[in-house]
Structure 1
Amino acid sequence: MIDPRLLRDDPDSLRAAQRRRGEPAELVDDLVAADERRRTSIAAFESVRSEQKNIGKRIAQADDEEKQALLAQTKTLSAQVKEAEAAQNEAAEAFDALLRALPNPASEEAPEGGEDDFEVLDVVGTPRDFAAEGFEPRDHIEIGQLLGAIDTERGAKVSGARFYYLTGAGARLELALTQLAMAKASEWGFTPMIPPALVKPSAMEGTGFLGQAADDVYYLEKDDLYLVGTSEVALAAYHSDEILDAASLPLRYAGFSPCYRREAGSYGKDTRGIFRVHWFDKVEMFVFTTLEESYAEHERILAWERSWLDALELPYRVIDVPAGDLGLSAIRKFDCEAWIPTQERYREVSSASNCTQFQARRLDIRTRPEGGSAGATTAVATLNGTLCAMTRTIVALLENGQQADGSVRLPAVLHPLLGEVLEPVA
């Protein structure tokens, strides 16, 4: 959540940020009013509680007649204290609920508008001209069937729509990508992690996934646990309720985990194949750092993602995601989109987000600045970046590397693990 001081000191900047996201600025007005009610209720409670304490002191020194009058007064005050305390708690809860609903103010550098208003920052590589090569490209499902690598029919039989099996070359390809991605992340200074895929509500709420994204989350009611849609959730909550040593920052983690998404609102989109599915594995980068350093770290995460796609020899572009498509926690996000030949367009395969102090305030993750006073702490900043979303990366590799005979030529970086070519099995 945001720093409440910003609400009091500069509410107009928050209203402007809401408009840039395409969200109602009235939420800020409601928050200002709720904050005023909260502070008024605190003052009212403290006033009546102070009066109650003063009478308690007077009773000890009063004579019998005065004592009886004061005791009668304390009964009235006791009821008033309970009423004022309840009003204070109610006002605080209402304010907190509104504050948690307010998105992180989008960076002024992020393009204004909705999903389609992105800015293209760079285009890398040239998509293949399959017509010039004399054949029509197959989509990843056709290729996967030829290779014995993907089985969506049995996935649907066993688990339902948008599920799949990776078999043979498909399974080996994912394992190779996982090994390579974790090795690369380690080279860049990330600690490899295998975090839990089930988390408590506090972790999901703390990372901002129970607001506008709640419909896309799987919830296990009997256990009061959530299946994560990204290991960002478990990695962010790893240091919840902790004060981090400033000298240890930045802390960088690379988590490998399964990810589960209901894909609410995507009915009819990408129904063929494994591009948009309910479960997939992913290697996610996550960083804890200072607010001041977070902007440079954001650029570093993007550079690492780009070097990964360069190593995979995929044509891709980088976009600056518009404010209206940022989600609750990020102030700015870059997406890397790989070219998918049979779709004849670029599709997201990774992203890099700067969430500044928004998640850390909700998860109570702080640091004590070097040279600061013993009690002085400040919220850290958090950033996340997808290094390798397995299914989408596999789609891009199969379609871009396909040959006329149904084989798939792999990038050189995968040759030590898989060889140069994946051959059809039939």
Structure 2
Amino acid sequence: MMDGMAPFLVANEGRGGNTMLDLKKIRREPDWFKEKLATRGVKPEAIDEVLTLDAKRRELLQETEALKAQRNEASKKIGEAKRNHESADEAIAAMQKIGGQIKALDEQVAQNDEVLFDKLAHLPNVPHEGVPVSLTEDGAKEMRKVGEIRHFDFEPKHHWDIGENLGILDFDRAAKVSGARFVYYVGLGAQLERAVYNFMLDEHMKEGYTEMLPPYIVNAHAMYGTGQFPKFKEDVYQVNGEDMTLIPTAEVPLTNYFGNEVIPAEKLPVYVTALTPSFRSEAGSAGRDTRGLIRMHQFNKVEMVKYTKADQSWDELEKMTANAENILQKLGLPYHVITLTTGDMSFTASETHDLELWMPAQGKYREVSSCSNCLDFQARRLHMQYRDENGKLQYVHTLNGSGLAVGRTVAAILENYQNADGSVTIPEVLVPYFHGITKITKENAVPFNRQK
């Protein structure tokens, strides 16, 4: 539970509340929520606890209102007594007693709200109809395969071996400086990373995205608004005690951009994109992807975020997925698109399409992008709204997607474009970013390694 968050529930509950799920809808359809959230591992008792706390809250508020009415009556009697030059001692004593009772009830409401808010904050988004039901990643639905898998006439190497042999990836020196799961990109390795993310940004801007350069450190409220807090605090790097956090994804500052605002309806949908580093502690990933660029504590990612009207978000999810696919298609990298299961998609998502790249040395697909429709889940927390055609305030829908994870894309390029002699051919669309260089070799990879 984050200090200072529960008052938002009190202040805004009548307007839908700054809770991730609509509390009034939970009251109306508790069994539906139990059924849907059970597919995400939420026990029915969690909904019962919310309803019990909600009922207690409303009961306390009714008692408070009744006492306030009594206090108003006592205040009138005091006024009448003074006008009539009569003793008001009895009425004053009564008002003081009632004031103490109201203060005690207010404290009970605040305590109840703290617990209620915390329970609601740990409930994930409701999965959309048609999302494969499973509490694990098994059962994801493949939507399509794109691109031809290359058949090598030699044993393909892992990207970390290719990069280390060329001298463009240096994990050992990074470990000396920062520890495991960090890397130095060197020479044409750094240039490849830069070429990849510049290409991604250029492509997204062609599709109508506005490029942004957001803050890399955000406050707790921003992390809460997009759903990383309170449940996933162990996955991030916090600075300045617990007040500020290094962003785990640009989704956080981008989605928070319109927080507590009413976006003019004629502006929607809004598309934004940004390149930022992402910082993740990778808690719980011990023993997984310990080598290479797949699971790093710091990595670059190009993010896409959309704000839409309620009736636009599903079409926009398909467009966003196509925006991510466009990058892979132009890079000539084979991939497939899957719809994640209820238990495998992110906490805030109602439906997620993952793009997974083919990694020849591993002989399997690895995730490079997740495109998710969060519906109004984040907007409720951030209080982002627009006015519909009738002038009524509605919550915007938010979507986010990697466009793409840069390091994983670089890893796929190294593996899919490797040559028998250890060199790597640069994808055609990236050659302009290399000023004519078409291949990374030992001779040109790292200038300071050349013989003088």
Shorter-chain-normalised TM-score: which range?
A: over 0.9
Which residue of 2 is the match for residue 319 of structure 1? 338
- SS state of the match for residue 115, structure 1? coil
Aligned counterpart, 1:28:
47
TM-score, normalization: structure 2?
0.90
Q: Distance in 2 between matches of 1:276 and 1:92?
A: 38
Determine the C-alpha separation between the residues in 2 that align with 1:335 and 1:236.
20
Question: How far did residue 343 of structure 1 move?
Answer: 0.9
Match of 1:308 among 327, 333, 356: 327
- 2:274 maps to 1:255: yes
Query: Matches of 1:303 and 1:100 in 2, distance apart?
Result: 32
**Local SS of the residue matching 1:40:** helix
Mapped to 2, the partners of 1:71 and 1:23 lie a distance apart of: 51
The answer as to 2:120 corresponding to 1:102 is no
Please give the per-residue CA displacement for 1:117-159, whole angstroms capped at 9, x wherever unaligned: 21111111232222xx1x1111111211233210001010110
Alignment equivalent of 1:128, drawn from 150, 158, 161: 150
CA distance in 2, matches of 1:286, 1:208: 15
Aligned residue number for residue 76 of structure 1: 97
Q: Does 1:54 align with 2:73?
A: yes
Q: Do residues 243 (structure 1) and 259 (structure 2) align?
A: no
Distance in 2 of aligned mates of 1:327 and 1:211: 14
Task: Give matches, 1:109-188, under 5 Å.
Answer: 109-113=130-134, 114-130=136-152, 133=153, 135-188=154-207
Q: Counterparts of 2:125 and 2:53 in 1: how far apart (Å)?
A: 18
Shift of 1:275: 1.4
2:235 is the counterpart of 1:213: no
Contact 1:150–1:170 at 8 Å: present in 2 too? yes
The corresponding residue for 1:282 is: 301
Q: Do structure 1's residue 421 and structure 2's residue 443 form an aligned pair?
A: no
Of 323, 347, 359, which residue of structure 1 is paired with 2:378? 359
Instruction: Compute the displacement of 1:47 (Å).
Output: 1.0
Counterpart AA for 1:119: K
Deviation by residue 1:38-78 (Cα, 9 ceiling, x = unmatched): 11111111111111012101211135666222112112111
Deviates more, 1:224-233 or 1:52-61: 52-61
> In 2, distance between residues paired with 1:357 and 1:54?
43
Note the alpha carbon deviations across 1:4-49, whole angstroms, 9 max, x for none.
1211111111101111112222111111111111111111111111
Structure 1 residue 176, shift from structure 2 partner: 0.7
Q: Which moved more, 1:241-250 or 1:22-31?
A: 22-31
1:103, CA displacement in angstroms? 0.9
CA contact (8 A) 1:41 1:91 kept: no
C-alpha contact 1:357 1:379 (8 A) present in aligned 2: yes
Aligned to 2:401: 385
What's the Cα RMSD here?
A: 1.4
Q: What SS does the corresponding residue of 1:243 show, helix, strand or coil?
A: coil
Equivalent position to 2:414, from 398, 409, 413: 398
Return the alpha-carbon distance in structure 2 between the equivalents of residues 44 and 295 of structure 1.
44
Shift of 1:223: 7.2
Identical aligned pairs, as a percentage? 39
Tell me the CA shift for residue 266 of structure 1: 0.4
Alignment partners' CA distance in 2, 1:253 and 1:224 = 26
Over 3 Å counting, the alpha-carbon distance change for 1:223 and 1:265 in structure 2 is: closer
- Decide whether the 8 Å contact of 1:45 with 1:88 is kept in 2: no
- What is the one-letter code of the residue matched to 2:399? L
**Secondary structure, counterpart of 1:406 in structure 2:** coil
Number of residues of Structure 1 aligned to a counterpart in Structure 2 = 420
| Matching residue's letter, 1:207 | T
User: Matched residues in 2 for 1:104 and 1:266: separation?
Assistant: 24
Query: C-alpha separation between the residues in 1 aligned to 2:215 and 2:315?
Result: 29
- Contact kept? 1:354, 1:384, Cα under 8 Å: yes
> Of residues 394, 399, 408 in structure 1, which corresponds to 2:424?
408
CA contact (8 A) 2:131 2:339 kept: yes
Describe the shift of the 1:23–1:117 C-alpha distance in structure 2 as closer, same or farther (beyond 3 A). farther
Superposed CA deviations along residues 375-401 of structure 1, whole A, max 9, x for unmatched, are x32211100010021110110000011
Superposed CA offset, 1:84-141 (max 9, x none)? 11122222222222111111111122111112221111111232222xx1x1111111
- The aligned counterpart of 2:24 is 5
State the distance in 2 between where 1:338 and 1:38 align. Answer: 50
What is the SS of the residue equivalent to 1:324? Answer: coil
| CA distance in 1: counterparts of 2:174 and 2:260, whole angstroms | 40
- Equivalent-residue separation in structure 1 for 2:411 and 2:310 (angstroms): 36
- Residue 191 of structure 1 is matched in structure 2 by 210
Choose 100-109 or 332-341, whichever is displaced more. Answer: 100-109
Between 168-177 and 212-221, the greater mean CA deviation after superposition: 212-221
Which amino acid is 1:11 matched to? P
| Alignment gaps of 5+ in structure 1 | none
State the AA in 2 paired with 1:47.
A
